[in-house]
């Protein structure tokens, strides 16, 4: 695994757990984790369960005892690491969004296609696909329970940078992150709605906004702004969006609305997707991860109303391996399910999903939204 911060910790928990829960055709051995700081990556290896720590990802790719490279770094290094790993015959799991630019994503897709011909597999880590309630939602749509899909609405609301004294971390720098709320959390709801509906976005019109354009530079040792420790701090420019909103058309005839923001004060991780069809509606809320809302319009009017499906039954996706009905699971389980599907695909010679091609399509939507922002039309006075 390359990278050991937030996503690295989540992936590590999943790698540690997956074979203890699921009966799979191969076992994951956590051989080595890579990071630039020798002391910090050594501490992370011990804490997260990796056998070794290294400071150069090229060392991992050159080793014969490593079959899979798991990329958990900022987006500016995804393409370089993933392409080199695929060319070296390593299977690759890469965090989302796939890359920082469409050109980088296309290069990754080309490398993945060439590697696939030699039996080398790759996938992009959109973990919310693996929430059982989301998989159930997709299954119900595919089974025709909603009929023709008319409208999709999706929001992803956070508030972690509302405070203007929050430092200029890498996620707020375009050269490292690619984009802000649009790519970081907007990518999730783009993938999620396309996954659930089976329809792809074909056209968009959007806007983005950066509310706080300068932030304190972080202290190299603490990650906090210098003003928090030593008075006034030097500042740097925020070069990504704080919020992104857009409307879209899907190739199956549905229309959709999307909102991704880090400035929804009071919202910590508020992801919600609702799908409206001719025969009913389904809604998922990440803060009620074990539930799915269903409105069945085919029932008599006197019996209609939103119902709650508690997604904890053994027959629900993934849940047969976990706890008795009614015993809920959490955020971290989505990554365990991701690793479960990846291991099974690689071990059986199948193509894991979402593929790099799927992730490229999300990248194309992100790019289209960013470009459409320039076509803003003022209302006449």
pLDDT along the chain (381 residues), means of 10: 97 98 98 98 98 98 98 97 98 97 98 98 98 98 98 98 97 96 98 98 97 91 51 87 98 98 98 98 98 98 97 98 98 98 98 98 96 82 85
CB 223 within 8 A of CB 6: no
The answer to the question of residue 381 being in a domain is no
Per-residue pLDDT, 377: 78
Same domain, 321 and 189: yes
Tell me the C-alpha distance between 230 and 99, whole Å: 36
Residue 86 lies in a domain: yes
In this structure, what CATH number is given to the domain that contains residue 228? Answer: 3.30.360.10
The pLDDT of residue 224 is: 55
Q: What pLDDT does 221 receive?
A: 44
Calpha distance 381→374 (Å, rounded): 21
Residues 70 and 199 in one domain: no
Residues 90 and 165 in one domain: no
Q: What is the CATH number of the domain that holds 85?
A: 3.40.50.720
Same domain, 244 and 121: no
Quote the domain boundaries for residue 198. Answer: 132-288+290-329
Does residue 158 belong to any structural domain of this protein? yes
Domain-located, residue 118: yes
Q: Which of 67, 98, 128 is the last residue of a domain?
A: 128
pLDDT at 15: 98
154 and 121, same domain (yes or no): no
Number of domains in the chain: 2
The reply to whether 380 falls in a domain is no
Do 77 and 161 sit in the same domain of this protein? no
Residue ending a domain, among 128, 145, 167, is 128
On whether residue 358 sits in a domain, the answer given is no
The model's pTM: 0.94
Q: Are residues 204 and 316 in the same domain?
A: yes
Q: Which two tokens stand for residue 26?
A: 């191969």
From 100, 128, 156, the end of a domain falls on: 128
Residue 62 lies in a domain: yes
351, part of any domain? no
Domain match, 222 and 324 both: yes
pLDDT of residue 222: 47
294 and 211 share a domain?
yes
Same domain assignment for residues 227 and 119: no
Kindly state whether residues 119 and 188 are assigned to the same domain: no
Q: Are residues 162 and 230 in the same domain?
A: yes
């Amino acid at each position: 695994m390359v990278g050991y911060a937030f996503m690295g910790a989540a992936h590590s928990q999943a790698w540690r757990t997956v074979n203890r829960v699921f009966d799979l055709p191969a076992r994951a051995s956590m051989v080595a984790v890579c990071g630039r700081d020798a002391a910090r990556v050594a501490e992370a290896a011990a804490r997260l369960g990796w056998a070794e720590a290294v400071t150069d990802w090229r060392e991992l790719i050159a080793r014969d005892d490593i079959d899979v490279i798991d990329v958990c770094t900022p987006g500016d290094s995804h393409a370089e690491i993933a392409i080199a790993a695929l060319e070296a015959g390593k299977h690759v799991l890469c965090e989302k969004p796939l890359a920082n630019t469409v050109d980088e994503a296309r290069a990754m897709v080309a490398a993945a296609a060439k590697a696939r011909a030699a039996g080398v597999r790759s996938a992009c880590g959109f973990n919310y696909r693996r929430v059982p309630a989301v998989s159930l939602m997709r299954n119900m749509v595919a089974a025709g329970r909603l009929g023709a899909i008319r409208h999709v609405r999706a929001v992803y609301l956070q508030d972690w940078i509302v405070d203007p004294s929050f430092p200029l971390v890498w996620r707020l720098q375009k050269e490292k992150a690619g984009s802000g709320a649009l790519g970081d959390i907007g990518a999730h709801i783009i993938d999620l709605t396309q996954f659930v509906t089976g329809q792809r976005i074909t056209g968009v019109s959007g806007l983005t906004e950066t509310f706080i354009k300068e932030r304190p530079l972080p202290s190299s040792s603490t990650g906090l702004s210098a003003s928090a420790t030593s008075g006034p701090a030097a500042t740097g420019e925020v070069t990504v969006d704080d919020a992104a909103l857009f409307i879209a058309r899907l190739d199956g005839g549905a229309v959709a609305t999307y909102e991704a923001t880090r400035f929804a004060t009071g919202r910590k991780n508020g992801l919600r997707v609702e799908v409206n069809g001719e025969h009913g509606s389904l809604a998922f809320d990440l803060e009620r991860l074990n539930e799915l809302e269903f409105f069945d319009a085919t029932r008599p009017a006197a019996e209609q109303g939103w119902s709650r499906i508690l997604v904890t039954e053994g027959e629900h996706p993934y849940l047969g391996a976990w706890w008795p009905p009614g015993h809920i699971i959490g955020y971290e389980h989505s990554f365990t399910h991701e690793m479960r599907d990846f291991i099974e695909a690689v071990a059986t010679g199948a193509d894991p999903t979402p593929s790099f091609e799927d992730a490229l399509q999300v990248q194309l939507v992100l790019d289209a939204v960013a470009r459409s922002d320039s076509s803003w039309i003022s209302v006449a006075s």
